[in-house]
Structure 1
Amino acid sequence: MGKGRLIVLTGPSGVGKGTLLRSLLQRHPDLYVSVSVTTRAPRAGEVDGQNYYFVTRPQFERMVAQGELLEWAEFAGNCYGTPRKAVEEKIQQGKWVILEIELDGARQIRKTFPSALRMFILPPSLSELENRIRGRAQDSEDAITRRLTHAREEVSAADEFDIQIVNDNFEEALGKIEVALFKPAAAIC
């Protein structure tokens, strides 16, 4: 790949960012996904250092105070952030680093790393997003309402990003991400 690059992938919860990212990594294993730091407890099957770095809130606050995070945000009562050192080292090594982060974090990256390519994944509609979130059967009604309210705010910010991709057809959305990453700018539609 040669020159290192930072790529930011953002979009509302339930839009399919994680699924798109997993498929992108299967097709392009030379991409590197940054492992975030979080204050939330590990879920069943999650491995520290692989899925997240799990830390206490005081540890997280120390990392923020010492400038160890490129970006950070609080979401659903937990803090999430991107360790600066690992990302900068990978980029210096010529790696392409992908951050799958929330809107607040993406806005911070625009300031701390303005050369990053920032992509926003949109749902085909808010009603389809609601169907996807409900279909996961992971959240209470209150949590679904909070996610949808937050999603409306996020979707209204899509124009802040370099590229917006609607995930209405998985393969097409994945293809558009690949075009954005690997084709000349003139080829992006």
Structure 2
Amino acid sequence: MSEIDPPRRSRLIVLAGPTAVGKGTVAAEVRRHHPEVWISVSVTTRKPRPGEENGVHYWFVSDEEFDALAERGDLLESAVVHGVNRYGTPRGPVDLAPASGHPAMLEIDLQGARQVRETMPEALFVFLKPPSREELERRLVGRGTETASERARRLETARVELAAESEFDVTVVNHEVHAAAEELVALMMVDAPDLS
């Protein structure tokens, strides 16, 4: 790059989709094979699942800590998911990421994606879709991390979330995790519009 070339801006990808579609798994695959991609780490009030690390998978916070972040305006978006736990995206790192020139991605729920669209319409909104409704149900039941009542609540949420596909710019079908991750990374390599 010559001295007169402006720094490259990469487009922010906002990845959302129904519960149990594999958003976290696809994001982990991107992280594993493409360390140059910056991926936002959300805050949540839910308890960690086995194997989840604070600051890697999520920032696990108390309800009081979440309230303080929201009151200070430190969250780009926040939502109550499945009627129980709160999730949010820290604003500061997201504001800095696209200008750094590194590919960047938010992996969030549908409610959060809608909020981000209001403040960052220049982002590319990607809907991660299961190969079929039956496969989504199989994945949710198969992971075995929720009680029967939690699974039922998540399945109902997923049915509603699947109907939101038309709100997104692009759909990626999660037939296979590595292929879905590579498709996302390819989308990140398109230069973002310069809105300055």
Give TM class, smaller chain. Answer: 0.7 to 0.9
TM-score (norm 1): 0.87
1:11 aligned to which of 17, 27, 49: 17
Query: Aligned equivalents of 1:54 and 1:176: distance in 2?
Result: 29
8 Å CA contact 2:103, 2:189 repeated in 1: no
2:40 to 34, 44, 57: 34
Q: Does 1:144 align with 2:151?
A: yes
- Deviation at 1:82? 0.6
Identity %: 43
- Look up the equivalent residue of 1:71 and give its one-letter code: E
Structure 2 Cα separation of the partners of residues 183 and 88 of structure 1: 19
Q: Where does residue 27 of structure 2 map in the other structure? A: 21
SS of the residue corresponding to residue 60 of structure 1 reads helix
Corresponding letter in the other structure for 1:120 = F
Q: Larger RCO: Structure 1 or Structure 2 (Cα < 8 Å, ≥ 6 residues apart)?
A: 2
The alpha-carbon deviation at position 96 of structure 1 amounts to 2.4
Whether the 8 Å contact between 2:11 and 2:189 is mirrored in structure 1 is no
- Provide structure 1 residue ranges, at least 5 long, that are not aligned to the other structure: 185-189
- Corresponding letter in the other structure for 2:110: L
Deviation at 1:178, TM superposition (A): 3.4
Matched, 1:159 2:166: yes
Question: Residues 125 and 168 of structure 2 are in contact (CA less than 8 Å); yes or no, is this contact kept in structure 1?
Answer: yes
CA RMSD of aligned residues (A): 2.2
Find the aligned partners of 1:174 and 1:42 in 2 and give their Cα distance: 24
Indicate if the aligned counterparts of 2:10 and 2:190 stay in contact, CA closer than 8 A: no
Q: Aligned runs of 1:1-189 on 2, under 5 Å?
A: 2-76=8-82, 77-182=84-189
Structure 2 contact 10–189 (Cα < 8 Å) conserved: no
Gaps spanning 5+ residues in structure 2: where?
1-6, 192-196
* Contact kept in structure 1, 2:104 and 2:188, CA below 8 Å: no
Indicate if the aligned counterparts of 2:77 and 2:88 stay in contact, CA closer than 8 A.
Answer: yes
More helix by percentage: 1
Per the alignment, do residues 65 and 152 of structure 1 end up closer, same or farther by CA in structure 2, a change over 3 Å counting? Answer: same
Aligned length in residues? 185
| Distance (whole Å) between structure 1 residues aligned to residue 182 and residue 100 of structure 2 | 26
What is the alpha-carbon distance in structure 1 between the residues aligned to residue 75 and residue 160 of structure 2? 24
Post-superposition offset of 1:135: 1.4
Equivalent pair of 2:81/2:87 in contact (CA under 8 Å): yes
Q: How far did 1:44 drift? A: 4.1
Question: Scaled by the length of structure 2, what TM-score is found?
Answer: 0.84
After superposition, the C-alpha distances for 1:22-68 in whole angstroms (9 at most, x for unaligned) are 22223321001111111223344433323322222122122222211
